[in-house]
Amino acid sequence: MIGLNIVALVFGLGFWQLVTSLGVVGLPTPVQVFNQAIASISSGLLVSDALASLARVLTGFILGIAVAVPVGFLMGWYPTARGLIEPYIQFFRTIPPLAIIPLAIVTMGIGEVPKIFVIFLAAFLTSVVATFQGVISVDRTLINAARVLGARDATIFRRVVIPASTPFIMVGVRIGLGSSWATVVAAELIAAQSGLGFRMQQGQLYYDLPVIFVSLITIGILGLIMDRIVIAADRRLTAWQEKA
């Protein structure tokens, strides 16, 4: 698998170099982007921007998951809670988190709070639905069998429902992670003084394409690393499950 990843990377870089050398589009070459990355790292800008964006993503993402999982379990396990909460979840799911950014800035200011809030919202809405779906998808035969054996609801929830719904939860976590990165970039484009989105905006103002590419690639690398961490956690938590 790693060998195929390396082949894909080499092929992608070669295709990028070919396209730029032919002058098909006005993109910077891989060498120009690499030189800009070295300059940004040397000046400390890339590291500070990456850390700023990463801190926002991690804060909003972790808060979103921490709230989404118990709310999703609550909705899936108790029909009353589902009837009370689900309409609000579905309502806000139809509103893109990016559309909340102007309102968040007006009501919360231009500090870190509105940025973290919209990231929290993006992670929460995807993860809560996945968790809810995981709970209601648990095989009722397993639950009934546990009850026949004398297990109480708390034991059934802990030993049957949580393990069976974990694969669904991890899918929601992965989707929420991607939504968090997309949201933080948009938030930084609108109101920020640091971050990879802010740096891309600066590159746009001065038509500095290498700066934009360096920020884009950095976002992709950070997102890929975080996604691989989530996948590793998923494999550990669902080791009992048969996978292809």
Architecture label for domain 48-237: Orthogonal Bundle (1.10)
For residues 137 and 79, the answer to whether their CB atoms sit within 8 Å is no
Q: Cα dist. 118→133, 180, 219 in Å?
A: 23, 8, 18
Closest to 56 (Cα-Cα) out of 137, 122, 148, 146: 122
Give the pLDDT of residue 222: 93
Give the pLDDT of residue 218: 93
Domain ranges of the chain: 48-237
Q: Report the distance separating Cα 136 and Cα 243, nearest Å.
A: 21
Give the pLDDT of residue 35: 92
Contacts of 36 (CB under 8 A, 6+ apart): 28, 210, 211, 213, 214
For residues 237 and 214, the answer to whether their CB atoms sit within 8 Å is no
Give the pLDDT of residue 241: 66
Closest to 89 (Cα-Cα) out of 114, 58, 64: 64
Give the pLDDT of residue 110: 76
Q: Report the distance separating Cα 48 and Cα 41, nearest Å.
A: 9
Q: Report the distance separating Cα 37 and Cα 51, nearest Å.
A: 15
What six digits make up the tokens of 77? Answer: 């396990």
Give the pLDDT of residue 68: 93
Each residue's pLDDT tens digit in the chain (244 positions)?
677 878 888 888 888 788 887 776 678 888 889 999 999 999 988 999 999 999 999 999 999 999 999 999 999 888 898 889 989 898 888 888 778 888 888 888 777 888 889 999 999 998 999 999 988 888 778 777 888 777 777 788 888 888 888 889 999 999 999 889 888 888 887 767 888 988 988 888 888 889 999 999 999 999 999 999 998 888 888 776 665 5
> Is 150 strand, coil or helix?
coil
Q: Report the distance separating Cα 82 and Cα 67, nearest Å.
A: 15
